[in-house]
Amino acid sequence: MVILFDRFNMPDDIFDVIFATKQQKIVGKLLIEAMKEKDGEVNKTEMSLFATKLHEGNLIAEIHEPPYIGKKVRISYNKRQFYDRILTPFKSMGIIDYDLYKKTYRLSDTFEKEMVRIGIMWRKELHQHLNIKKK
């Protein structure tokens, strides 16, 4: 997944940085909130039930996005697109980890660690460039 951002117009919400559409942002937030309610970890069955609820339009949630602020809204999102556009990017970025042995999804700090690693990679590249110029 590619994240493009303008550091001079950085949104306050991480979900605005990660997702391209408002609908993806809403569903991504709902998933993270659902996982937080379960102490940051859900099993495969619980994830499937969440995706099915979305698919069938049976998920009712309070949305904190205009024009829905403070209102309970019925959310519908295709199950395949949920896995392809929400869960898989979260996993590949390190926001959610999947434990193959326990068969659970867990909120993770790997994303933050990878962002630091990218910053260090850039610093290394920059210093190499500066050192070459000095010679």
Cα 126 to its chain centre, rounded Å, is 29
Catalogue all structural domains in the chain, each as residue range(s) with its CATH number: 9-108 (1.10.10)
Is the pLDDT at 134 greater than 70? The verdict is no
Question: Please, what is the Cα angle at 96 between 20 and 40, to 5 degrees?
Answer: 120
Its pTM stands at: 0.89
- Taking residue 35's Cβ as centre, other Cβ atoms within 10 Å add up to 20
Q: Which helix (H) or strand (E) holds 105?
A: strand 104-107
Residue whose entry in the numeric block shows the structure tokens 């117009």: 9
Each residue of 43-67: pLDDT tens digit? 999 999 999 999 999 999 999 888 8
Each residue of 89-114: pLDDT tens digit? 999 999 999 999 999 999 999 999 99
